[in-house]
Copies of this chain bind each other. A is one copy, B any other.
Amino acid sequence: MTRVGDAPLLQTTVAPEWIDYNGHMNDAAYARVFSLACDALMEAIGLDDAVRRASQRTIYTLQVMLHYFHEAKLGEAIAVSARVLERDAKRLRIWMTMTRARDGERLAASEQLLLSVDTSGPSPRAAPWSADVAEALARLAARAEGIDLPPEAGRGITLRRGKS
């Protein structure tokens, strides 16, 4: 199991198909990278593909915030790490940070609200985390205890805060 907090969830390189007309990584490609990191997080908490198929449990995404801090350029090595912000019986709120490998510069961050879903019935429905997953989430959450929240966590979008 990946020890989230110790090692990045995902390490990759900015691919040519992620570059847009502005010559930098497109906004939707950041979402793609964070989505791949979220897949890695699911593996880390015991919800890999085999478990998903056997248990008919999965995760649906309810809400995603993306913060763009710096441009990512073609071929740059990047990494994504994650921490738990909050959780309850069926939901998980996480914070992911994308950094540039060469200098650790924070390129972007994503706050995500995720829902535990049971797909065994006629239509998908919210369901409590299985005991194994709940335990894995508790271990993950313990790693973030006492660490300051990212200043952007929980914030919505407005023009009135900050200057560009």
Does any Cβ of B come within 8 Å of A88's Cβ? yes
Number of copies: 2
Does any Cβ of B come within 8 Å of A90's Cβ? yes
Q: A21-B52, A27-B61, A113-B159 are in contact. List 16 more A-B contacts (CB 8 A).
A: A21-B49, A21-B58, A22-B60, A22-B119, A27-B35, A28-B31, A31-B32, A31-B66, A63-B66, A64-B65, A64-B68, A65-B157, A88-B159, A90-B164, A93-B158, A154-B156
Chain A residues in contact with chain B, CB under 8 A? Answer: 21-22, 26-28, 30-32, 34-35, 38, 49, 52, 58, 60-68, 71, 86-88, 90-91, 93, 111-113, 115, 119, 124, 126, 153-159, 164
